[in-house]
Amino acid sequence: MSSAPWKPILKSLISENIKNMKTITPLLPMQLSTFDTLTCRPTNRSVIFRGFLGERKDENYKNELMEYLNSISPDANLKELNPEIETDLLVITTDIRSSKVKHLLENPGFESCWWFPVTSDQFRLSGNAYVFSSPTNSIIAHFPSDMLLSFYSSANSTSLIEHFDWEQERKKYWYGISSDLRASFLKLPSGQETNEGLVRELDPIGKNIEEKLLVNEALENFALVLMKVDYVDHLNLTPIPKRITWKFQKNDDGLNKEEWITKNFTY
Ligand SMILES: Cc1cc2nc3c(=O)[nH]c(=O)nc-3n(C[C@H](O)[C@H](O)[C@H](O)COP(=O)(O)O)c2cc1C
């Protein structure tokens, strides 16, 4: 399937804004809303976009990843990484203890909103989002693996479905996050409410037996959220406000095929 029409625009906005931001560590968090079925209210928070599933990585990084994956499960003797067929699925990482996970399990609907200050663009995306947790957690049963992969499959990517290893993806993102973020996935000892005196940094593998135990504990809480977008609204404020939307819907040729329908607005 060809790539979504809004994706190249979003990617170029991200790179242009990051390149021109004047801060030392440019951060472009997006806001993610989920629906709380208990309070019947939307809940919003900042999250970091980690890329599109299947994005191409440079060769050195791939070798590094392979080495890491083989070092955590030497029996696997992995020779190849998951196929690099870039999908339209956005990836974020999260902690299974957070409210958003509970919300998404009850109602996968989400809306996210991104403000790009350098170029004066707002990007809103909505659709359904799914949590890929540790395989030992019961919530894994809700993860619609085949649906997510088949949706993006095309004639030449059957191998994507047959050989795709989601756990390998989870470990790849675990390897890619910072050591202080990794440590935040550890449990607090019972009764303790602050993280005073706790582990501040965590190696992806664990340099000794004690640290390996901590890594296993933290990995139990570490999850990916895969965002399947079906509606996008892009507003550019300069020089004259311009708005464009894309909706993934059945076309009217009677073939029941879904495609992106674009609409332009003059406000
Ligand atoms: C700049 C920034 C980036 C953040 N990135 C993430 C993220 O990528 N994933 C995440 O789960 N929480 C992230 N957080 C924390 C969330 O905003 C939120 O506080 C936390 O996930 C708990 O939210 P919830 O219980 O409503 O799910 C970030 C916070 C800030 C301020």
Residue 26 contacts by C-beta under 8 Å, 6 or more apart in sequence?
A: 17, 18
Sign of CA dihedral 14, 20, 21, 25: positive
- Nearest ligand 1 atom to alpha carbon 43: 26
* pLDDT at residue number 155: 46
**Which pair of structure tokens corresponds to residue 83?**
């196929």
- Quick: pLDDT tens for 52-77: 999 888 999 999 999 999 988 766 77
| Percentage of residues in the chain having pLDDT higher than 70 | 90
Contact, 16 vs 45, CB < 8 A? no
Q: 235 C-alpha vs ligand 1 centroid, how far in Å?
A: 24
Neighbours of 32 (CB within 10 A): 25
Q: What is the pLDDT of residue 83?
A: 84
Domains and CATH numbers, the chain: 7-55+84-175+221-265 (2.30.110.10)
pLDDT of residue 200: 86
Decide: 89 and 228 in contact? Cβ < 8 Å.
yes
Contacts of residue 66, defined as CB under 8 A and 6 or more positions apart, other chains included, come to 78, 81
Q: Report d(CA 237, CA 120) in Å as an integer.
A: 6
State if residue 103 touches ligand 1 by the CB under 6 angstroms criterion.
Answer: no
**6 Cα to the center of ligand 1, angstroms:** 25
| CB atoms inside a 10 Å sphere around CB 85 | 18
Question: What per-residue string of b and e applies to 229-256 under the rule 16 or more CB within 10 Å gives b?
Answer: bebbbbbbeeeeeeebbbebeeeeeeee
Cβ neighbourhood burial of 90 (10 Å; 0-12, 13-18, 19+): buried
CB of 99 shorter than 6 A to ligand 1? yes
pLDDT by position in tens, the chain (length 267): 558 999 999 999 999 999 988 887 778 899 999 999 999 999 999 999 999 999 888 999 999 999 999 988 766 778 888 888 889 999 999 999 999 999 999 999 999 999 999 999 999 999 999 999 999 999 999 999 989 987 665 545 666 667 789 999 999 999 999 999 999 999 776 666 666 667 889 999 999 999 999 999 999 999 999 999 999 999 999 889 999 999 999 877 767 788 999 999 976
Ligand 1 neighbour 93 (Cβ under 6 A): yes
For 2-53, write each residue's pLDDT tens digit. Answer: 589 999 999 999 999 999 888 877 788 999 999 999 999 999 999 999 999 9
pLDDT of residue 188: 72
pTM over 0.85: yes
Q: Indicate whether residue 29 lines ligand 1 (CB < 6 A).
A: yes
Q: Could you tell me the distance, in angstroms and rounded to a whole number, from the CA of residue 46 to the centre of ligand 1? A: 5
Type of residue found at 143: F
